[in-house]
Structure 1
Amino acid sequence: MAAVKKIKLGSQGLEVSAQGLGCMGMSSFYGPPKSESDMIALIHHAIDSGVTFLDTSDIYGPYTNEILLGKALKGIRDRVQLATKFGISFANEKREIRGDPAYVRAACESSLKRLDIDCIDLYYQHRVDTRVPIEITMGEVKKLVEEGKIKYVGLSEASASTIRRAHAVHPITAVQLEWSLWTRDVEEEIVPTCRELGIGIVAYSPLGRGFFSLGSKLIETLADGDFRKFLPRFQPENLEHNAKLFDRVTEIAERKGCSPSQLALSWVHHQGDDVCPIPGTTKLDNFNQNLGALSVKLTQEEMAELESIVASVNVKGDRYSADISTWKDSDTPPPSSWKSA
């Protein structure tokens, strides 16, 4: 296996491995938490393989994923670039999007404690609080940078105008967004905005939450409590249609001598040197397979063929159910509207 190259993420100086590791599924959302010792072994294997850009959030668990990462990184903190997030509060079993300064500071302090570190490499606002001007949220984040608690600042699921306004307060290093063969909306406005401002792009769910590994069979493998069972694209009436996309991708992968998931992941890599996908997994074999995607080189003709397949299949179903707020409605009020408590 060739060494994993490093890429510059954004224009503020952060360097990360060209592929990262999403750690969410180790602790939450995709069924019950996995064995701590197995997950620590997987994280160590990833780092030894050259995948050093690790992605977590306080909401994963909640809280347990950061604790897991803290344990895994004992004695090897300097070998990784660690990203975590704030913005989804889970107080009293109730989920709430928050961006007020007091919450931002408390969330950062708590993440530092759970991760057992002095400084977070990349700190994202996980979801944008549409009640709080982004300038106010970023003002507090900027103070945390000045205090040495954060090195670089990111946004996740933010609209183009929110990205611009945030970047004017403190340079944004990366925007995390869902980008894959079946999630393309971001190409219209978000990606061009990031490129204009010199902001790196971190693609989560680059394998369509596992769809490009198994196609419609994925649903049969999901554990009780796996939230993918409730996503619109995985409902029977949509899944049957969407399976056509997996079938076509599989045909190209067979010609290419790689797996469908490697082809789908390679497609994300081919979107540009400013894009870092962070596929998540809890299995060593899947991790190794994902790593193999870095060696899959696609020609312009193959890229064009994939484009035409996606256009012809026209994926059915939204990526989230209606109750989950995403970048589509993440504009915030003007700074003049803010009255601090």
Structure 2
Amino acid sequence: MSETITLSLEEAKSLSLTVLQHHGYSQAHADAIMRSVLAAQRDECHSHGLYRLINCVEAARNGAVNTHAQPSIVDQAPGVLRIDAHQGCSLLSFEMGKPLLAEKARQSGLAALAINNCFHFSALWPEVEALSSEGLVAIAMTPTHAFVAPAGGVAPLLGTNPIAFSWPRPGGSPYTFDFATSVVARGEIELHRRAGKDIPDHWAMDAEANPTTDPVAALAGAMRTFGGYKGSALSTMIELLAGPLIGDVFGHETQAANAEQTGKPFHGELILALSPDAFLGEHAAQHLEHAEALFDRILGQGARLPSQRRFEARQNSLRNGVTLPKTLVDELKALVS
């Protein structure tokens, strides 16, 4: 078993900020990125936790992200807010746009935030949960670089294209899901590669379109969509809604950062916010309580709700800190030595 290290949340926060600022991220961007990766690590979402700081450093080193970008906000329409990230990280744009998005949703019932020209690497659930914590229903989606073959295809064309949803629950943790439309997030394959572990043979194909258990071959080949044609259709929908609909690009029109500094890792993100109060007025609380009956029936069958494990992990981390592979902690510390 690989050696691990436990850090307090404050130690993990400090390490994250030190790494980011050492590699040129402004205070505002470093803070926004830190909050995202720390939330993921706290909830034991390892593929989007502190491990992602390595990607942020590589992007900065390769000139593939504007580490001091100041997002530009445009009040597009009563229910539409646009932000140009100016090739900066999407997280600061979201944090800057969230108050106006929430205000528009409460006024109109439904509002959209389109983030354009952004560098995006993070989990989506912290964003939708930030909105559901204010009593809003939220949906977020974004295309990624072309890592995934469409169902029936043999070569990368679609992104892993995650989608997230969060529903506020009275007196409890929200109902939240966040998943890639590929069988698994690409970060999971990266983590298997780092650990020298095989992957299941249904996750991806090698460069010759053969099923593979080798994470290195999988990363050089094409990932698969979940659910065959259903996942492929959902992935395509995300490409359209977070691409042409908001005036941005498809995943296959982007390119990951590289040492030659020819990467084009910028694309769009779409966040939707819906206000139960605007839809339902004085009856909102009654209908939110009605929704609890569905959750109770799910749990009553012995099933679990999405994110239930994550919320349990959160409580453990708040008490005991976060546990990471020693090799990862050493690698992060080496980035600032």
* Same fold, TM-score > 0.5, yes or no: no
Using the size of structure 1 for normalisation, the TM-score is: 0.26
